[in-house]
Amino acid sequence: MNQPFYVAPEQLMKDRADYARKGIARGRALVAVQYNNGIVVVAENTSNTLRKVSEIYDRIGFAGVGKYNEFDQLRRFGVRNADVRGYQYSRDDVEARSLANEYAQILGQTFTHDVKPYEVEILLAEVGIDQDSDQLFHIMYDGTLMDERGLSVLGGDAESITERLRNSWEPADDLATAVKKCVSALSGPDRVLRAGDLEVAVLRRGEDRRCFQRFDDAEVAKLQE
């Protein structure tokens, strides 16, 4: 009988994590911050059709970095889950927390049991009735679930982006200011990001039902002025 080579579990997990991290680092980053009237997500994305940021439900938005087909599959799962839940119970019973848990389960299971881990990081944002009840759930490739306050950075080079953003960001900023700060944190000192390189969407507080709104290039350019 063939004996498989022994691999220490630490080594196995480390290899998988390295693999996932490498995949994620190849893509562009995105940031989400609270502003005075909701949550804004700014992603570096040159495509106008393959979205990184999208709507899940009335007050819930989704953003993903890494491999497109993988986070898009997770996004579809989220929309389906939320819509069925809202149909079966009520629109008020759909919340980001339980969906974030489901994502963490899926990513964690795949990380330990499947041949290949997901090469994604995802963000689930929910806009509340006031800034204190806003929620940002950051879920890593291995299922690690983080409940973040105020701002969240996903993707390659997250550390330096977070540092730049922490120095400038204020929760009381208006939308245009918040977008400008996010863009300069994403680009760093050596690059300039224009509207065509960006994908911007907000979850606006106080809307009747669907709070999610995406901005087109012209609107983004206007916010950057």
Partner 1 sequence: MVVPFFNLENDPGSNFTSLLRKVGLDPFSYAHSGDVQSLQAPHGTTVLAVRYNNGVVMAGDRRATMGSRISNREMEKVVPADRHSGVAISGTAGIAMDMIKIFQLQLEHFEKLDGRPISLEGKANQLSQLVRANLSGAMQGLAVVPIFGGYDLLRSTGRLWDFDVTGGRYEEREFVATGSGGGPASTVLKVGFRPGMDADEAINLACRALWEAADVDSATGGPDVLRSIYPVVATITADGWERRDDSDLATRFETLVQQQRSQREGTTS
20-to-30, 89, 116, 121, 128 alpha-carbon distances in Å? 17, 36, 9, 9, 32
80 binds partner 1 (CB under 8 A): yes
Please pick, from the candidates 41, 56, 158, 186, the single residue that binds partner 1 as defined by CB under 8 A: 56
Q: How many residues interact with partner 1 (rule CB under 8 A)?
A: 18
19 scored as a contact of partner 1 (CB under 8 A): no
Burial of 73 from C-beta contacts in 10 A (0-12 / 13-18 / 19+)? middle
To the nearest whole angstrom, how small is the minimum distance from the Cβ of residue 4 to partner 1?
Answer: 28
Q: How far apart are the C-alpha atoms of 165 and 212, rounded to whole Å?
A: 23
Report the nearest approach of partner 1 to the CB of residue 83 (Å).
5
Identify which range of 26-34, 36-44, 82-90, 164-172 contacts partner 1 by CB under 8 A.
Answer: 82-90
From candidates 21, 51, 52, 181, binder to partner 1 by CB under 8 A: 51
Does 83 help bind partner 1 (rule: CB under 8 A)? yes
For partner 1, give the closer residue by CB, 51 or 138.
51
CA angle at 104 for the pair 102 and 107, rounded to the nearest 5°: 110
Tell whether residue 81 is a contact of partner 1 (CB under 8 A).
Answer: yes
Site for partner 1, residues 104 to 123, rule: CB under 8 A? 106
76 binds partner 1 (CB under 8 A): yes
Q: Does residue number 88 form part of the binding site for partner 1 (CB under 8 A)?
A: yes
- Is residue 216 involved in binding partner 1 (CB under 8 A)? no
Burial class (CB within 10 angstroms; exposed 0-12, middle 13-18, buried 19+) of 6? exposed
Q: What angle do CA 181, 187, 190 make, to 5 degrees?
A: 120
Residue 85 identity: R
- Name which of 73 and 224 has its Cβ closer to partner 1: 73
CA distance linking residue 154 with residue 121, whole number of Å: 7
Minimum gap (Å) between residue 54 Cβ and partner 1 = 7
d(CA 80, CA 77): 5
Based on the shown chain and the rule CB under 8 A, indicate whether residue 54 belongs to the binding site for partner 1.
yes
Bridging pattern class, strands 30-35 and 38-44: antiparallel
Only one residue has tokens 């090469």, namely: 119
As measured in angstroms, the least distance from the Cβ of 202 to partner 1 is 16
Q: Is 101 in the site for partner 1 (CB under 8 A)?
A: no
Binding site for partner 1 (CB under 8 A): 49, 51, 54-56, 73, 76-77, 79-81, 83-84, 86-88, 106, 210
